[in-house]
Structure 1
Amino acid sequence: MSQPQSPKLIVIVLDGLRYDTARRCLGYMEHLVEQGEAVCYQVKSELPSLSRPLYEVLLTGTPAYANGITTNHIVRLSQEQSVFHLAAAAGLRTAAAAYHWVSELYNSAPFHPLRDRHQHDESKPIQHGAFYFEDHYPDSHLFADAEYLRTAHDPHFLYIHSMNIDDAGHKFGGESKGYDGSVRMADGILAMLVPTWLSEGYRVIVTSDHGMDANGQHGGTANEERLVPLYIVGDRIIPLKEGQTLGQLNVAPLMCRCLGLEPSPVMTVQHNPSFPLSRNTWLGEIDDEG
């Protein structure tokens, strides 16, 4: 008798993408929502609304005061159990095409461009990695890196983290033509790749770490800096009540559930007591038959 296939998940983090711009400019993703093939939730990021702390939030489900990654300037390995750690420990294959700070959190720190650009080590949490180190590294190249990793190594968990939206936001502001254009470019790439991923049995999550204000800044408490989208494609999940906003600490345990993993205890109890993961909550209502 053949063994059932392990779940496969692709997570895309579009760095610096605010919620309102996503709903207005991600035409392909919104097409999937209109057709009932995807859902989109509003997520409120943790504080501080900075990149490296929120990479840790997204992948460990722990807040900055607990995990110690409180600023972009802290360069060290995470001390938490990330989704990469949990997946690798369960015998799943992991891969990431991402900014080098992701490597510094989960594989090795500090990052050395000549040594660490490409990584293949099955003893690491991220077993196969393509890491870039310039904010203007083209998203088109980044997604090509990801597709190489996917087709060459067949990961169960593939993490794709692009930087062009954030880069445009800092250069031109979060309400600029340049910012909108970078979001639309990312949507075009997703429109080419998501159908293939779905046809090959992947679940797909598209989200962001933080938003961007009109002055090209983030890190504070304004909605423009904190509200981000969470698209889930390929699963039927009980909708939230209109106007309800999710906390970002719920994203890591959601990834775990999509991969068939038990979230770590700190994900489910210590830091998410108001949103416990159980079969009675929306995060546990993934329909594995559909």
Structure 2
Amino acid sequence: MTDTANKLIVVVLDGLRYDAARKYMGYMEHLVEQGHMSCCSVQSELPSLSRPLYEVLLTGTPVSKNGITANHIVRLSHEESVFHLAVAANLRTAAAAYHWVSELYSSAPFDPVADRHQHNVLKPIQHGSFYFEDHYPDSHVFADAEYLRTAYDPHFLYIHPMNIDDAGHRGGGESKEYELAVRRADGLLATLLPKWMEEGYTVIVTADHGMNANGCHGGVTPAERLVPLYMSGNNGLLPEAGAGTLPQLLLAPLMCHCLGLAPSKAMSTEGLPLFAGAKAP
């Protein structure tokens, strides 16, 4: 791998609660203990549903502006996402993700046959591997992502596994099945993160929303809204542990900062003093 300057990998572990991450992700917490990563809590936007929050994470805009108000809204995004901004700056992009991400930034509605693998340098997601079943193994998602990373050398790689969310819906956010899915995701990260970090990537690991004990999300409770934000080499960008919760609207401009891009005009700037004094990537 060459040219690792301003390269970013974002992992969105769908449905991962903040408290579950801090209790069960032993490898990620090891990196925090050793000072290789920082971790803070993030409060998701509302509604705490998947498709609306995919749009929040990648465009930095609230539902009231972007119009992706519920999971059943199937259309391309009308906003400038991090993918759009990266391609406009001649950076390479890739994603291994659930098909709803394709429907927001590549092709809608999703055709499982035609849209499973996508390669078009003119689209916001230039190289994509998209799955369409919630139980598609996380191990396969990470393998898809590694193929994209090594074959196409993207500056911005977005990885989005679904098994934690799937286990939560089936057994609840405090079930044995949910805990096991979190632990498995941690093991997968333990396999890949050392390589990514050695090759100079900035790595962000977060989630769209949490999961309550009844296997639901979409509401306002902490179990549904509080998610983790792990980040490598953050140069003081994140608040110190215990210093407060970051608004989810700041994640898109944070991604832009890591890629050396200016945020879009629509991206929220509230709270950006957190970045004051931080060194440019």
TM-score band w.r.t. shorter chain:
over 0.9
Q: Does 1:164 align with 2:163?
A: yes
Supply the distance in 2 between the matched residues of 1:231 and 1:169 (Cα, whole angstroms): 21
Alignment of 1:112-261 (within 5 A): 112-237=111-236, 240=239, 242-261=242-261
Between the aligned partners of 1:84 and 1:252, the Cα distance in structure 2 is 10
Instruction: For 2:230 and 2:130, locate their aligned partners in 1 and report how far apart those are by CA, in whole Å.
Output: 24
**How far is 1:6 from its partner?**
4.0
Distance (Å, rounded) in 1 between the aligned partners of 2:256 and 2:188: 25
2:46/2:220 contact within 8 Å kept: yes
Identity between Structure 1 and Structure 2 (%): 68
Cross-structure match for 1:99: 98
- SS of alignment partner, residue 115 of structure 1: coil
Cα deviation, residue 237, structure 1? 1.4
Is the 8 Å Cα contact of residues 258 and 286 (structure 1) preserved in structure 2?
A: no
> Residue 202 of structure 1 aligns to which amino acid in structure 2?
Y
Q: CA deviation at 1:233?
A: 1.1
Per-residue CA distance 1:235-279 (angstroms, 9 max, x = gap)? 331552534111000000000000000001111xxx43x313xxx
C-alpha contact 1:49 1:221 (8 A) present in aligned 2: yes
Name the amino acid aligned to 1:283: F
Identify which range, 230-239 or 111-120, moves more after superposition: 230-239
**Residues 111 and 78 of structure 1: is their aligned pair in 2 closer, same or farther, counting only changes over 3 Å?**
same
Question: For residues 221 and 68 of structure 1, do their structure 2 counterparts lie closer, same or farther at Cα, with a shift above 3 Å needed?
Answer: same
The amino acid across from 1:142 in the alignment is: V
Give, as a single letter, the amino acid of the residue that structure 1 aligns with 2:271: F
Q: Which amino acid aligns with 1:262?
A: A
Please list every run of 5 or more consecutive structure 2 residues that lacks an aligned counterpart in the other structure.
Answer: none
Report the Cα distance in structure 1 between the residues aligned to 2:122 and 2:247, rounded to whole angstroms.
Answer: 32
In the other structure, the counterpart of 2:44 is 45
Q: Which runs of 4+ in 1 moved over 6 A?
A: none
> Residues of 2 paired with 1:151 and 1:286: CA distance?
30
Task: Check the 8 A contact 2:257/2:280 in 1, yes or no.
Answer: no
User: 1:96-154, CA deviations, whole angstroms, 9 ceiling, x for partnerless residues?
Assistant: 00000000000110000000000000000000000000000000000000000000000
Deviation, structure 1 residue 285: 4.8
Change in 2 beyond 3 A, CA 1:6/1:238: closer
Distance 1:60 1:46 in 2: 12
| Contact preservation (8 Å) 2:260, 2:280 | no
Deviation at 1:287, TM superposition (A): 4.0
CA RMSD of superposed structures (Å) = 1.5
Distance 2:233 2:252 in 1: 18
Gaps of 5+ in 1: none
Write the letter of the residue equivalent to 2:24.
C
- Whichever residue aligns with residue 266 of structure 1, its letter is A
Distance change >3 Å, CA 263–CA 118, structure 1 → 2: same
Q: Deviations over 1:32-74 (max 9, x none)?
A: 1001111001000000000000000000000001000000000
* Aligned-partner residue type, residue 265 of structure 1: K
Alignment-derived partner of residue 16 in structure 1: 15
Question: Any conservation in 2 of the 1:40–1:232 contact (CA below 8 Å)?
Answer: yes
Aligned residue number for residue 282 of structure 1? 274
CA distance in 2, matches of 1:54, 1:90: 25
Give SS of 2:167's match: helix
Matched residue SS, 2:266: helix
Scaled by the length of structure 1, what TM-score is found?
Answer: 0.93
Following the alignment from structure 1 to structure 2, what is the Cα–Cα distance between the partners of residues 95 and 19?
26
Q: Residue type matched to 1:154 in 2? A: D
CA distance in 2, matches of 1:198, 1:233: 8
**286 and 154 in structure 1: CA distance in 2 versus 1, 3 angstrom threshold:** farther
Distance 1:220 1:131 in 2: 27
Distance 1:172 1:256 in 2: 36
Aligned residue identity for 1:20? D
Contact 2:5 2:200 in 1 (8 A): no
From the superposition, tell whether residues 259 and 239 of structure 1 become closer, same or farther in structure 2 (CA, over 3 Å): closer
